[in-house]
Amino acid sequence: MELVVARIGRAHGIKGEVTVEVRTDEPELRLSPGAVLKTEPAAAGPLTIETGRVHSGRLMLRFAGVKDRTGAEALRNILLIAEVDPAELPEEEDEYYDHQLMDLDVVLADGTEIGRITEISHLPSQDLFIVERPDGSEVMIPFVEEIVAEIDLEEQRCVITPPPGLIDEREAIIDSTRDEAGEDA
């Protein structure tokens, strides 16, 4: 199975290095020197990682055959794709690959069906499950311990304990600091 593991950013310096937007929890495994990665668009690859280092908190890579800034700039915005065994599991017990979570049934603790996971959005602060409801609408579920109570891959389900208003807006609790009479303090 193929997974997007990074997106190439700007050229860095004059010797062919590029910044990389990492899209994997295991960059040391997927983006190490010697790794051969497919690309999107496919005509740009495959690319072999020659060197890698962290500079000011960003991963910098240099690819075989890319020796100058012009070559590095030509790679900007290309997606890097790794071949991953579908049976492979992450090292940590409570970690999952996106492909394992896709299409899981999402239910409440009492078994009430909410929908199924159709997309996973990776945001800086947290990941979100995009869940398609039976009526075709979508709801976003933060992938945090307080809400996602259980992931059962064998049963293909995700059990959630959402706060009021997350699933049904009519249940939302509005907490206002304004004076009920409309007076200014």
Encode pLDDT of 9-66 as tens digits.
999 999 999 999 887 777 887 888 999 999 999 888 899 999 999 888 889 999 999 9
pTM: 0.58
Q: What's the first-to-final CA gap in the chain, in angstroms?
A: 60
| pLDDT tens per residue across span 123-145 | 777 889 999 999 999 999 999 99
- Specify the higher pLDDT residue, 95 or 14: 14
Q: What is the pLDDT of residue 101?
A: 87
Residue with tokens 């590095």: 72
Contact 4, 40 (CB under 8 A): yes
Omega before 90 within 30 of 0, i.e. cis = no
Question: What b/e sequence results for 77-111 when a residue is b if at least 16 CB atoms lie within 10 Å of its CB, and e otherwise?
Answer: ebbbbbebeeeeeeeeeeebbeebbeebbbbeeee
